Amino acid sequence: MSSSDDDGRASASALARLVGADPSAFEGAWGRTHLLHHGAGFEDLLDLPAVDELLTTRGLRTPFLRVAKDGTPFDERRFTSGGGVGAAIADQLDDARLTALFADGATLVLQGLHRTWAPVAEFVRDLAAELGHPVQANAYITPPQSQGFSAHYDVHDVFVLQLSGEKRWVIHDPVLRWPMRDESWQKGGRRDLVARAAEGEPALDVVLVPGDCLYLPRGHLHAATALGGVSAHLTLGIHTWTRHHLATDVMRQALTRASDLRAPLPAGVDVGDPTAISQDAAAVRAALLAAVESISDADLAAAMGRRADDSGRPAPVSPLAQAAAVRDLTADSVVRVRAHLRLRHVSTGEGLRLVGRGVDVLLPEATAPHVLDMLLDGAPHRVGDLPAAASDLVTRLLAAAVLVPA
């Protein structure tokens, strides 16, 4: 990890800002236990004036905002209205209604901030690249002495970044370790388990102040209450890749490869009789085992790579500036690769194919891989300093939004 400067921001990696410059403590906590870090502050990511701007002037609609009180979400009609002439969309946020609800003790939950607020979006992209796992961002703004949600657990890991005010967090150990996406705390009788566990001795009872960051693996019970004044925190949800994802792709590929499984069972079969299906069941097991053994690590990595491509977005590109960069390209133009594209290139019979997030570009057969690698190394490059053969390639990659003006 890169070293931190005086305020711990500009030169620190995204993860180091959350857990400290030494990653060893976090590596031991990852997926297993909570971790508390006293950082340098996160107001550069989001502050209360930014929250007011999002709520009032950005034209946000549901579901980019939830409102809840004492653990109960409000119907969106309580805090939305139409936008008037020329923007008659019925579910835009109504700032006057939100003002009244917040004054009455409701918690405001800004959802999907990795899509609506640039500083958070950039931080989320960087953190996801470091962790190798998808990341989302929500913000919770709670009035004094209020609790937005009762004790519960999430089905993803979280980092809680205290932005302003103080908030008391009470943490309990899981009632279900590593819950999957379909194993929420409200289902399967777990609501009562959670309620009973929350009455016991907590694993952690702490007051977060601005600059503090709390890491919680998925499944750990938590409840938070604002203290003293308005409290705001940013929650970064880490949607961890698991061995279950690998297993899902193994089975998907195995079922595709074991094509003889499409054959019908005998006419008159009683599928509820173990004896009647035993011969076909044995054939199925044998076919699946053989298919599973044929799946290579590279096959799995390719499938998981496609999932990773779909799990996030690359750095934004400015359409007008990009078109101007293509049109006005000169020897003095400086370009660099667009961040977080997850690029890789493969040789095909038609030429060199470049693929990644939103990228699928077939390059000319004459494209030299070493020139392409140089252009995609992340550094800025002046067009006039590149090999002569690279000029057309730069134009093509600018047009495909692979390269951007530096």
Give the residue extent of every domain in the chain: 14-238, 243-308, 319-405
* Highest CATH level, class, for 319-405: alpha beta
HSE-CB for 253 with a 13 A CA cutoff: 20
φ and ψ at 363, to 5 degrees?
Answer: -95, 160
HSE-CB for 273 with a 13 A CA cutoff: 7
Does the structure show a pLDDT above 50 at 1? no
Q: How far apart are CA 123 and CA 13, in angstroms?
A: 9
| Continuous segment of H or E residues that includes residue 159 | strand 157-172
Residue in 232, 24, 248, 277 with CA at minimum distance from that of residue 120:
232
* Block residue for tokens 């409000």: 74
Taking the CA atoms of the chain, what radius of gyration do you get in angstroms?
A: 26
- DSSP at 388: T
Instruction: Kindly list the distances between the CA atom of residue 203 and the CA atoms of 28, 169, 198, 339, 355, in Å, as whole numbers in the listed order.
Output: 17, 11, 10, 40, 46
Give the pLDDT band (50/70/90) at residue 10.
very low
Does 319-405 match 14-238 at the fold level? no
The model's pTM is: 0.91
Q: For 18-40, what is the mean pLDDT?
A: 90
Q: Which pLDDT belongs to residue 148?
A: 63
How many Cβ atoms are within 10 Å of 349's Cβ, its own excluded? 5
Would you give the distance in Å from CA 83 to the centre of its chain? 30
How many Cβ atoms are within 10 Å of 208's Cβ, its own excluded? 23
Higher pLDDT, 148 or 183: 183
Task: Give the model confidence (pLDDT) of 330-371 as tens digits.
Answer: 999 999 999 999 998 887 777 788 999 999 999 887 788 888
Structure tokens at 11: 């030169």
Q: How far apart are CA 256 and CA 246, in angstroms?
A: 15
Return the ∠ at Cα 189 (arms to 133 and 179), rounded to 5°: 15
How many Cβ atoms are within 10 Å of 273's Cβ, its own excluded? 9
Q: Which pLDDT belongs to residue 11?
A: 53
Give the pLDDT band (50/70/90) at residue 165.
very high
Task: Give the model confidence (pLDDT) of 193-208 as tens digits.
Answer: 999 999 999 999 999 9
Residue in 31, 19, 3 with CA at minimum distance from that of residue 220:
31
CATH of 14-238, one of 2.60.120.650, 3.40.50.300, 3.40.50.740, 1.10.20.10: 2.60.120.650
The CA dihedral of 388, 392, 393, 399, to the nearest 10 degrees, is 150
Q: Which pLDDT belongs to residue 40?
A: 84
